[in-house]
Structure 1
Amino acid sequence: SFKASEYYQHNELSTLNDSAKSLNSTLGFDHIYLVNLAKRSDRLEKMKAVVNALNLDVEYFTAISTDDHKTLDRFNNATYMNATHKACYVSHYLIYLSIAYNRYDSALILEDDVDIELNITSIMTYIHSVLPSDWDLLYIGHCMGWEGAFDPPIEETSETFKLYPSKKPYCTHGYAISAAGALKLIKELATLYIPLDLQLISKIDEGVFKSYSVNPAPIIQTNDNPSDVSPDAEFLEYKSLINSTLYSLGLK
């Protein structure tokens, strides 16, 4: 049987510093995880440049690969998914366990193929000011264009980046989880038969998770290097940023 204590720390923790984290360095969350496959050192170097440019404090979390049979086999509750989808699910599920184990009040999960608005700190300062206290999930990045298309924002504002109730927030490249949300995820996603983002949408539709989305998305997937953490990303329409961090660094 799977034991959380065995696997939540499956890789060494790697943070930029050990000092107390400020609001700015973790965008208002207790912790930031950046998920990266060990074989993709190219992406890791690019993401380190983004992290440094934005003065973020992150934990580099090694994603489970499709050939890590020892770990994947412990999750025999996801046998109907192909290996790539299962590896994505297990990687994120391990982070949910880590959030709960470390008793973080909240955490942001980033995948290694993202670009971020240069003023993400000020964007998130506003978002936190209007985010309901009983939130479970917060999609700062999403795909497919459903978010903000049908409902009014939580607060009418002149701010460019507004907060909306989540509709169908496809993709998992940039989303945050509250402490309560992590416990719900561990319970509700213990068994999975469809890709992670589709299961999350289903649970949001059912009212299991109180979820919100920022639109336009200030965290996007890059279109020059399709995701191998979220395997279906190459089929999605890509968004653009107003002020791209990668562009400012000459990396795009």
Structure 2
Amino acid sequence: MKSELPESVQDEALLLRSTTDNNEQLSRFRLHTVLLLLLLLLTGSVFVWSADPPPTAIKPTNEPTAPPTVHLRPYKDTSHRLPVLPSAGPSSHLGFAHIYVLHDPAHPWRLLRMTHLLQLLSLSAEFVPLTDPFLTRMSIYRDIRQHSYTSALILDDSVDMELNIRTLMHAAHQNLPRDWDMFFPGHCGAFEGTQDTAGMLRVANMPICLHAHAVSLKGAHQIVNHVKPSQEIIEMAIMRLKERGLLHMYSLDVPVFTPRPDTDEAKKQDRPAGNKRLEISALTHLSLWQGKTQKA
């Protein structure tokens, strides 16, 4: 018959078994802890050695944003290669049916500057090489008539404009009468004299400079039909039509287009008489966009 152990001996056995179990659990806990620490260390090493962003990540940089690529194509049957600016929507012509930009090949760098400026403002335009001041402008007036454009804005490639040109031109269109033939949003003086009308629009008696002017379809017909090739400059030929009452002309009280000096060192007196500095120059904004510090 199996003898039972004393109660004190049984308690010691239970205590010894419990201690052994606790030691085993502590050992397993320590092992798990060590494995976890090793895993964390390995993970940390991978993170440190993989600190560089993936190839698709965009790294912050102080370099200026590159302007959009400019695509060139031959202009009609000439050797001139000019930019192609796709239409940017109904508002890309500033309320006109078309925009022409006269490019002077003697200043090739203006071509890229004007193209980037139009892209910045989301404007569309047709570049035309300026071969002869009189003949080239007359060819544009004929082109307006040929394509039956209801109106067209004609800009020199040297112009600067207000940054909010869309808003300003929208307001100008709201005030233009229906019978307008020529409109001068940029001029060197229009000799309006004293006028009773208030607002941004003025009747232009003798606007000077054609660096930024618009022509309606009716105005283009009048110019093509009545201006003949001669030795006088195109501005004077147009002024004679105004004197004969064949053209209705209007201008802005404060021009929103102005010629831009070719260099930052150009003196103030080099600006055509009557031109005012712009409130917010679009070309200055373009220079900031390209990371430059060009002065207005």
Q: Does 1:152 align with 2:196?
A: yes
- One-letter code of the match for 1:50? L
Kindly tell me: are residues 10 and 139 of structure 1, through their superposed partners in 2, closer, same or farther at Cα, counting changes over 3 Å? farther
Corresponding residue of 2:49:
none
Q: Is the radius of gyration larger for structure 1 or structure 2?
A: 2
Cα drift, residue 38 of structure 1: 2.8
Runs of 5+ unmatched residues, structure 2:
1-74, 264-268, 288-293
Once the two structures are overlaid, the 10-residue window that deviates more, 107-116 or 194-203, is: 194-203
1:28 lines up with 2:102 in the alignment: no
SS in structure 1 of the partner of residue 92 of structure 2? coil
Match of 1:214 in 2: 252
Deviations 1:114-154 (A, max 9, x none): 0001111111111111111111100111113624x52234x
Q: Is the 8 A contact 1:142 1:172 kept in 2?
A: yes
Distance in structure 2 (CA, Å) of the matches to 1:115 and 1:105: 25
**Structure 2 match to 1:37:** 104
SS of the equivalent of 2:207 reads: coil
Q: Deviation at 1:40?
A: 2.3
Shift of 1:46: 1.1
- Supply the distance in 2 between the matched residues of 1:41 and 1:152 (Cα, whole angstroms): 44
Amino acid at match of 1:17: P
Match of 1:63 in 2: 130
CA-based RMSD of the aligned residues comes to 2.3
| Residues 1:94 and 2:139 aligned together | yes
**2:86 maps to amino acid:** N
Partner of residue 49 from structure 1, selected from 101, 104, 116: 116
Offset at residue 41 of structure 1 (A): 1.8
Q: Please identify runs of 4+ aligned residues in structure 1 that moved more than 6 A.
A: none
Are the aligned partners of 1:146 and 1:169 in contact in 2 as well (CA < 8 Å)?
yes
| Residue 168 (structure 1) shift | 1.4
User: Is 1:128 equivalent to 2:173 in the alignment?
Assistant: yes
- How far off its partner does 1:199 sit? 2.1
- In the aligned structure 2, how far is the partner of 1:174 from the partner of 1:15? 21
Identity rate, percent: 29
Name the stretch that deviates more: 191-200 or 102-111.
Answer: 191-200
SS of structure 1 residue aligned to 2:191: coil
Determine the C-alpha separation between the residues in 2 that align with 1:186 and 1:235.
Answer: 30
CA shift for structure 1 position 52: 1.2
Q: Could you tell me which of 207, 223, 226 is aligned with 1:188?
A: 226
Counterpart contact for 1:152–1:164, Cα < 8 Å = no
* 8 Å CA contact 1:99, 1:106 repeated in 2: yes
**How far does residue 10 in structure 1 lie from its aligned partner after superposition?**
5.2
Contact 1:9 1:98 in 2 (8 A): no
Gapped regions of structure 1 (runs ≥ 5): 1-7, 65-86, 226-232
Counterpart AA for 2:121: L
Query: 2:284 matched to which residue of 1?
Result: 247
Q: 2:87, 2:123 within 8 Å by CA — same for their partners in 1?
A: no
In structure 1, distance between residues paired with 2:247 and 2:109: 35
- 1:221 Cα shift? 0.8
Q: Report the residue type matching 1:49 in the other structure.
A: H
TM-score (norm 1): 0.75
SS in 1 for 2:215: strand
Instruction: Quickly say closer, same or farther: Cα 1:107–1:88, change in 2 above 3 A.
Output: same
**Corresponding residue for residue 208 of structure 2:** 170
Aligned to 1:203: 241
Q: Is the 1:144–1:236 Cα contact (8 Å) retained in structure 2?
A: no
Deviation at 1:18, TM superposition (A): 5.0
